[in-house]
Amino acid sequence: MSTTPSKTPQAIRGTQDIFGTDAEAFAHVVETFERIRRLYRFRRVEMPVFEKTEVFSRSIGETTDVVSKEMYSFEDRGGESLTLRPEFTAGLARAYLTDGWKQFAPLKVATHGPLFRYERPQKGRYRQFHQIDAELIGSPEPLADVELLVMADHLLKDLGISDGVTLQLNTLGDVASRDAWRAALIDYFRGHKAELSEDSQDRLERNPLRILDSKDPRDKVFVGDAPKIDAFLSAEAQDFFAAVTAGLDAAGVAYERAPSLVRGLDYYRHTAFEFVTTRLGAQGTVLGGGRYDGLMESLGGPATPAVGWAAGIERLAMLVADAGTLTEAPLTVVLAVEDDAALNYAQKVVTALRFQGLDAEMVATGSARKRFDKAVKMGAKVLVSFGVQDGVPTANLRAAEPTAEYLAVEQVLQSVHP
């Protein structure tokens, strides 16, 4: 009977295993986000990894690339269509309508975790990727937009990656402003339809705003002369955007106006924004979001104002790593067990040290004669060697000088006995 050598399974294309310094940068992003969201009093929520497909098809839009090309959808055993979440906002909106969260409005929530989209993998983007997300639901005030933007700016600064990152800001106006602008764009682009890209020709009648965001050189020729939203803003929409920019000025958050920054879906209103950089190649968005006052209605709920943003953790982690601001902290304590008879005593000590908040490693395997040398090479701030004297386990504390760490270890040793 012949046997065929087994082949080691490979990772799925477009997924990643995160380890070492990459994993530390990833964790640093999440930990910083968690600290910042607490400062701004955003409640932590956990969301399902999959939802009913209609949650995304109704909220993101049947005609978008995400729904038509990128979603991972499947039928479960009961024949119901389910989808791995491609973003957080739709699920959060569904929960707001179905889980009684309306009683907490205005509700500030934050979450993070994996998302799934079938798309071409590229630098910083994978088919399974991770995002942090913050939403403020139930507030129609421009102050809500300001708070989220200040929070995002604060996060990037605390991560040490704000240099070279620019906040691009635009307004989409209220419903009347947007509808008037949309009609003007359709009329303008109809005059150039034959010269537009195939995608933009298809979008012209259904979603002309997306032509403004096209990366195709054939479209960019005409985008510069396209009608601008400012010509169609109502007085109320002008006042709203002025309040947002005034709030950013007061908070010291720098921004630049980006008239071509749009959101194609009809439920977006007023503020749209992206933090962008040139340090990530063609895909330069670091964090993006906007106000989506019409989303709840698209899901069958009442009109509910809301604004939010999301950012890819992998991209933020890449910027953190490139900035070189994240370094591994040196080991605080290493314990060298030079006699196995002292192992249990050393185990008591290392456990006590960790409970006191001191990181510690124990060298207790391999040749007993080489353990001390191995411990020295680990470069800890404090070294404790364990042996046996007159049949009693002993601990010898070694350090160049009585630092704060030395004194903390000394205190633990005084409280733990063989």
Enumerate residue ranges in the chain where pLDDT < 50: 63
Other CB atoms within 10 Å distance of the CB of residue 281: 11
Instruction: Determine whether the annotation assigns residue 394 to a binding site.
Output: no
Quote the pLDDT of residue 281. Answer: 67
Percentage helix, strand, coil for the chain under 3-state DSSP, each rounded to 5: 45, 20, 35
Quote the pLDDT of residue 111. Answer: 98
Strands of 128-137's sheet in order across: 43-44, 107-116, 128-137, 306-312, 285-291, 269-276, 166-171, 256-257
Instruction: Determine whether the annotation assigns residue 128 to a binding site.
Output: no
**Model confidence, pTM:** 0.89
Q: How far apart are CA 110 and CA 98, in angstroms?
A: 18
φ, ψ of residue 362 to 5 degrees: the values are: -125, 130
What are the structural domains of the chain?
A: 20-174+234-323 (3.30.930.10), 175-223 (no CATH), 333-415 (3.40.50.800)
**CA distances (Å), origin 35, targets 40, 237, 358:** 9, 34, 21
Quote the pLDDT of residue 213. Answer: 80
Q: How far apart are CA 398 and CA 307, in angstroms?
A: 56
Instruction: Determine whether the annotation assigns residue 10 to a binding site.
Output: no
pLDDT digits (tens, 9 = 90+) for 349-380: 999 999 999 999 999 999 998 999 999 999 99
With tokens 């537009």, the residue in question is 196
Quote the pLDDT of residue 6. Answer: 64
Instruction: Determine whether the annotation assigns residue 263 to a binding site.
Output: yes
User: 74's torsion region: left (phi>0), alpha (psi -120 to 50) or beta?
Assistant: beta
Instruction: Determine whether the annotation assigns residue 268 to a binding site.
Output: yes
**CA distances (Å), origin 23, targets 19, 46, 314, 326:** 5, 21, 10, 11
Instruction: Determine whether the annotation assigns residue 147 to a binding site.
Output: no
pLDDT digits (tens, 9 = 90+) for 333-350: 999 999 999 999 999 999
Quote the pLDDT of residue 136. Answer: 98
Instruction: Determine whether the annotation assigns residue 345 to a binding site.
Output: no
